[in-house]
Each structure stands twice: as structure tokens, then as C-alpha cells.
């Protein structure tokens, strides 16, 4: 089906204008008609600012209605929305504003100090649209998002195909902007959206509207507890709107497990997006503390980006007839494998490749049909155009093999006899902490900026809640006199909080080999030994 998210949402809004599209718990709701109107007013606002097709608007917001309004309004007129990580520090934000050539940034007032410093570092004009999530003064030159959204809407025209930038987590280096065509993104999501909801695949835009408004189909009520800046959370909510469902938003930026459980119960949520154990475990603990033993309306839990243990899944299945979909995905390739369980009888969870996914050996031959074979996952379906302004990385990661374009992921797998796959790990050294990717070299550079640190190496160590946490070993002249908290605070002042080392080994020498390599196994063992003493 050739279609565009903005056009389909507009059509649904015309059919059911009074249906709730977005509900912010405790604050109110936005109907489909109001959502469509707000998107149109945002399109008018950016046009008034002088932005034209292919100009970029960065989004630095927590999960809020304004995130979705900015996204919908931008793609309606060919403006490119750029998803930024709200956990980033000023110099990280500045780098991405510069890298993406953003002409404007929509940001939360609670993040205004970060934005102010980032704009100072950026050193060029950029339009500032401030969302008042807290009571705060506008930054100099900034506009109030809601006040300026009150202006006349832009007359609706069929949307042109444009792009959407989603930054990678820095798995193999600094974050890179994957350039998605909005139409390509939709064509890739149609199967996921409709099949997981138990609905037939639409063939035309008219089918989309009919399926979204047919009372015979149950309403999807979706709550993303992981940030919209991540693919699984974003597609969960935009696909819910495609299905004529309702998106539920929590009122606080910080994850509140008790508030999330209350919202699931009170708003009759049917679909939740999490980031593995990091979110699911606190959610389960909150439910137990509240005396909630059943969530009979919850139909689906989706997770991507980090470890999702079978123990946690079993506890979720005990709450009701929930289908759990554990997604192996990347920013560039979307979902490449799924581990689906419908009850505790399906545990331990096992993964199958999605359509369009192959396994390549070292000779780039496909081996997914050979039991026992091992290789890297690659995807041949819908994918980004490439990385923005990085032809070399695009050529390296988007490879044409036997006439087909492939995106080669870092995931190593082995083919099992019955067609399932065994996950062996990642080929890169990335640390995956709570779904956030941490590139060790970036943290090492920050550590080496501390005047007392002579040498540093960063790695991940297992953690029951976060899957992995960042650990580091540093070499200093006098290990006994160094304050560990001071070093960790030094990193925290420069990088996002999740990049700070949670475990720190301080030694006189890292004992590098002649080739400069470090024995990470020895350092991990020593660090764990120190913690048990």
C-alpha cells in the first residue's frame, strides 16, 4: 500500500473527529480532530519561521503530546523531524543539532539549561520552541510552543514524501542519523501494526479508515513506557493512531512505576512498550505492592533494546492473557527477529527471523537455512536511505550483495535445527544499559579528561535490572588518594547520566600488552572481586 502517515491520520480524523487520540493522565485528552488541527497549526508555524521542505526540526522532549504533534505537523509539509535523546548533555545535543543541520528545536522547559548551553556551543542561529512542561521563563529569543500553536492552521494538502531522522545509539561510534523515508517507514510498519492487532492488511487508504473506525474491532489503547526517541516506543504509538486507537501519556518525565500501573488499570490500556527488565521489573514490583494480581485487559507487551528475562516474562504472563513480543531490532533495519510468547508454556522464549532477514557468514553467503551455521544478521527489507552526510559509513553498512541491498547488523547468531536462532551476542564492544547504547571510546575520552587519570578502559558488566551497566578501569599515580565519586561526577558533567561508570576500578597500571590491548576479562574479574570484599 502506497500511503503516508500524515494523510492517513488526517483521513481518520475526518471520520472520527471526537474520538480520543491522546490522553495525558490527570491532565486531559486530545481528540483526533484536535490532533489533526494541532499538526496543521504546527505546519503553519514552521512555515512562518521560514522553514521549507527538507529543513530539519529537532525534538528534545520527554513522551508528551507535543512530541507527536511536532512529528505529525513536520511530515505533513516535508519538514524533517529529528529525534534527539533527552538524556544528552549540552555538548552532545549541540553536536547533533549541528550534524543534522537543524533549523529549529522543540524542547522541554525542564531541559532549557541544556538547550541554552547547546545553542551557545552551536554558535549559529536556531529557532527555539519551548514546551512548558514546568513553570519556567522562556529562553532568550524562544517562542512558547502552545501560544504560537494558537495561530491559524495551514490549509490541508496531500503530504509529499519526506524524511525522518532517527539517531543511532552509537553502537559502533558516534551517533549517526539514519534517514528514513516517511512512506518507506509506513510500508515497513503496516505488517507489524495490523498483524499484531489481529486485523487484515489494508490495501488502500480507504481500508485503513474502515479498519480504524469499524466498531467490530477492539480499540488499541497504547502506553509507551520507553522514550519515543527509540524506535519501538515511537512505532507503538504512531501505529496505535494508525489503527484508530488511543495513546496514553504519563504526566511526569521520570518513569513512575506506580503511576504507570495506575494508568494501565484506569485507562484500560491494551498495549505497553517497555525496554526489557529495566522497565518491566519495576512495573511488576509496583503492581505487587499495590495488590494487583491481574491485568485482564492488557493484551500485548512489546520490548526492544535490552535484556528481557524469561523470569520477568513469566511474571507478566501470570497477570493475564498477554502476548509478549521481544524484538531484536536496530535503528537502521527495524525488527530483524522476534521472540513471541503467549503463555508460560512458551518459555524459554526463542527467536525467529522476520521476513526479509538473512544470516551471512564471513564470506557473505546466506546460511539461515543451514542448521548449526553461525553468522551476522542482515536485513534486506525496507530500510533507511543511509546515514545523513556520511557516505563512507553508508557504504560500509548498507551493502549490495548479489543485487540486493543489505543492512548488516552487529548481532551474531547461530541457526538451530528447527529454524529458530540462538543469540550469541554483538560483534561490537557497545555497552547496552537499559536499552541505551554506550560507546566505550566516548566515556574513555571523558575519563582521560580528568587531570588525575593517566589511562582508562570502559566495558560492560552484567546487571540484573539494566542488562549491563557501564564499568571502567582507570590508572592513576596514587590509587589510594583518588575520590571515585569525583571521577564519576566528572564524566556526568560531560555525558548523559546513563554513560557514567556505575563500577570503577582504580589501579596504578592497566598493564597493557605490547600491542596496547587490555585484558578485559582480568579487569572484570578484579572489579567483581573488589565488590564482594
Say what the pLDDT of residue 173 is.
60
Cβ atoms of 360 and 375 closer than 8 Å: yes
Residue 312 to residue 280: CA distance in whole angstroms: 7
Q: What is the mean pLDDT of residues 248-254?
A: 95
* Higher-scoring residue by pLDDT: 441, 35: 35
DSSP letter string over 158-192? PPPP-EEEEE---TTSS--EEEEEHHHHHHHHHHH
- pTM (predicted TM-score): 0.85
Asked whether the predicted pLDDT for residue 532 surpasses 80, the reply is no
In the structure, what pLDDT confidence band is assigned to residue 517 with cuts at 50, 70 and 90? low
In this structure, the strands spanning 20-24 and 28-31 are antiparallel
* Percentage of the chain lying above the pLDDT 70 cut: 97
Say what the pLDDT of residue 520 is.
84
Say what the pLDDT of residue 171 is.
47
* Percentage of the chain lying above the pLDDT 90 cut: 72
Say what the pLDDT of residue 251 is.
94
Query: Where would I find the beta strands (DSSP E) of 388-522?
Result: 398-401, 404-415, 421-426, 431-433, 436-438, 455-463, 467-475, 503-507
Query: 372: buried, middle or exposed (CB in 10 Å: 19+, 13-18, 0-12)?
Result: exposed
Say what the pLDDT of residue 168 is.
84
- 273 Cα distance to chain centroid: 11
In the structure, what pLDDT confidence band is assigned to residue 127 with cuts at 50, 70 and 90? very high
Top CATH class of 431-532 equals: alpha beta
Residue 400 to residue 315: CA distance in whole angstroms: 43
Asked whether the predicted pLDDT for residue 513 surpasses 60, the reply is no
Cis peptide before 348 (omega within 30 of 0): yes
Say what the pLDDT of residue 427 is.
56
* Higher-scoring residue by pLDDT: 87, 307: 87
Cβ atoms of 114 and 90 closer than 8 Å: yes
Q: How far is CA 141 from CA 44, 58, 60, in A?
A: 19, 17, 17
Helix/strand/coil percent split, the chain, to 5: 35, 25, 40
Mean pLDDT for all residues in the chain: 92
Say what the pLDDT of residue 150 is.
80
In the structure, what pLDDT confidence band is assigned to residue 424 with cuts at 50, 70 and 90? confident
In DSSP terms, which residues pair with 329 in a beta bridge? 335
Residue 520 to residue 526: CA distance in whole angstroms: 10
Asked whether the predicted pLDDT for residue 515 surpasses 60, the reply is no
Q: How far is CA 178 from CA 99, 124, 163, in A?
A: 12, 24, 10
* Higher-scoring residue by pLDDT: 329, 212: 212
Q: At what angle do helices 277-289 and 257-266 cross, to 10 degrees?
A: 70
Q: What is the mean pLDDT of residues 257-283?
A: 95
Say what the pLDDT of residue 426 is.
60
* Higher-scoring residue by pLDDT: 253, 278: 253
Residue 413 to residue 498: CA distance in whole angstroms: 27
Query: What residues contact 340, with CB distance under 8 A and at least 6 apart?
Result: 323, 324, 325, 326, 346, 349
Asked whether the predicted pLDDT for residue 417 surpasses 80, the reply is yes
Q: What is the mean pLDDT of residues 352-375?
A: 93
Residue 83 to residue 228: CA distance in whole angstroms: 8
Asked whether the predicted pLDDT for residue 437 surpasses 90, the reply is no
Asked whether the predicted pLDDT for residue 237 surpasses 90, the reply is yes
Asked whether the predicted pLDDT for residue 22 surpasses 60, the reply is yes
Q: What is the mean pLDDT of residues 168-194?
A: 83
Asked whether the predicted pLDDT for residue 382 surpasses 80, the reply is yes
Q: Which CATH number fits domain 7-254: 3.40.50.980, 1.10.3720.10, 3.40.50.720, 3.40.605.10?
A: 3.40.50.980
Cβ atoms of 310 and 339 closer than 8 Å: no
* Higher-scoring residue by pLDDT: 178, 332: 178
Say what the pLDDT of residue 288 is.
97
Residue 97 to residue 108: CA distance in whole angstroms: 16
Q: What is the mean pLDDT of residues 83-111?
A: 97
Asked whether the predicted pLDDT for residue 466 surpasses 80, the reply is yes
> Would you kindly state where each structural domain of the chain is located, as residue ranges?
7-254, 351-426, 431-532
Q: What is the mean pLDDT of residues 177-193?
A: 90
At 309, list the grid cell: 528475562
Cβ atoms of 79 and 127 closer than 8 Å: no
Cβ atoms of 60 and 111 closer than 8 Å: yes
Asked whether the predicted pLDDT for residue 208 surpasses 70, the reply is yes
Top CATH class of 351-426 equals: mainly beta
Query: Where would I find the beta strands (DSSP E) of 61-101?
Result: 80-83
R_g (Cα) of the chain, nearest Å: 23
Amino acid at each position: 500500500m502506497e500511503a503516508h502517515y500524515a494523510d492517513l491520520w488526517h483521513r481518520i480524523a475526518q471520520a472520527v473527529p471526537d474520538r480520543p487520540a491522546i490522553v495525558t493522565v490527570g491532565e486531559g485528552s486530545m481528540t483526533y480532530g484536535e490532533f489533526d488541527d494541532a499538526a496543521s497549526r504546527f505546519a503553519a508555524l514552521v512555515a512562518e519561521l521560514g522553514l521549507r521542505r527538507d529543513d530539519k526540526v529537532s525534538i528534545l522532549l520527554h513522551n508528551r503530546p507535543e512530541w507527536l504533534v511536532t512529528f505529525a505537523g513536520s511530515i505533513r509539509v516535508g519538514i524533517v523531524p529529528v529525534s534527539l535523546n533527552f538524556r544528552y548533555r549540552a555538548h552532545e545535543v549541540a553536536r547533533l543539532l549541528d550534524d543534522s543541520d537543524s533549523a529549529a528545536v522543540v524542547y522541554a522547559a525542564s531541559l532549557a539549561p541544556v538547550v541554552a548551553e547547546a545553542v551557545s556551543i552551536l554558535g549559529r542561529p536556531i529557532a527555539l520552541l519551548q514546551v512548558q512542561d514546568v513553570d519556567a521563563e522562556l529562553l532568550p529569543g524562544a517562542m512558547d510552543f502552545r501560544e504560537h500553536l494558537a495561530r491559524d492552521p495551514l490549509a490541508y494538502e496531500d503530504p509529499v514524501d519526506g524524511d525522518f531522522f532517527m539517531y543511532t545509539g552509537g553502537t559502533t561510534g558516534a551517533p549517526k542519523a539514519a534517514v528514513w523515508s516517511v512512506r518507506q517507514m509506513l510500508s515497513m510498519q503496516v505488517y507489524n501494526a495490523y498483524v499484531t492487532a489481529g486485523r487484515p492488511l489494508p490495501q488502500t487508504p480507504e481500508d485503513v479508515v474502515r479498519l480504524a473506525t469499524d466498531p467490530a474491532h477492539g480499540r488499541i489503547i497504547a502506553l509507551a513506557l520507553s522514550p519515543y526517541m527509540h524506535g519501538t516506543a515511537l512505532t507503538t504509538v504512531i501505529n496505535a493512531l494508525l489503527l484508530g486507537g488511543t495513546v496514553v501519556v504519563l504526566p511526569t518525565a521520570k518513569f513512575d512505576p506506580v503511576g504507570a500501573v495506575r494508568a494501565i488499570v484506569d485507562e484500560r490500556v491494551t498495549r505497553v512498550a517497555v525496554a526489557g527488565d529495566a522497565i518491566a521489573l519495576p512495573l511488576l514490583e509496583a503492581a505487587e505492592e499495590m495488590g494487583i494480581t491481574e491485568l485482564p485487559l492488557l493484551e500485548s507487551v512489546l520490548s526492544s533494546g535490552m535484556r528481557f528475562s524469561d523470569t520477568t516474562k513469566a511474571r507478566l504472563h501470570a497477570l493475564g492473557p498477554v502476548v509478549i513480543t521481544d524484538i531484536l531490532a536496530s535503528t537502521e533495519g527495524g525488527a530483524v527477529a522476534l521472540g513471541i510468547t503467549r503463555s508460560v508454556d512458551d518459555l524459554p522464549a526463542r527467536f525467529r527471523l522476520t521476513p526479509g532477514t538473512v544470516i551471512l557468514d564471513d564470506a557473505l553467503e546466506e546460511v539461515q537455512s543451514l542448521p548449526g551455521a553461525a553468522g551476522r544478521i542482515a536485513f534486506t527489507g525496507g530500510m533507511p536511505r543511509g546515514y545523513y552526510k556520511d557516505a563512507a559509513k553508508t557504504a560500509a553498512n548498507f551493502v549490495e550483495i548479489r543485487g540486493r541491498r543489505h543492512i548488516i547488523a552487529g548481532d551474531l547468531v547461530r541457526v538451530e535445527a528447527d529454524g529458530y536462532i540462538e543469540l550469541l551476542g554483538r560483534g561490537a564492544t557497545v555497552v547496552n544499559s537499559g536499552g541505551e547504547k554506550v560507546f566505550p571510546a566516548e566515556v574513555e575520552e571523558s575519563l582521560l579528561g580528568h587531570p588525575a587519570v593517566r589511562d582508562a578502559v570502559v566495558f560492560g558488566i552484567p546487571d540484573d535490572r539494566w542488562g549491563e551497566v557501564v564499568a571502567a578501569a582507570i590508572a592513576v599515580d596514587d590509587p589510594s588518594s583518588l575520590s571515585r565519586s569525583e571521577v564519576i561526577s566528572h564524566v556526568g558533567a560531560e555525558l548523559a547520566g546513563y554513560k557514567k561508570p556505575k563500577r570503577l576500578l582504580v589501579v596504578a597500571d592497566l598493564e597493557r600488552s605490547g600491542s596496547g590491548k587490555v585484558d578485559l576479562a582480568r579487569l572484570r574479574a578484579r572489579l567483581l572481586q573488589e565488590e564482594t570484599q
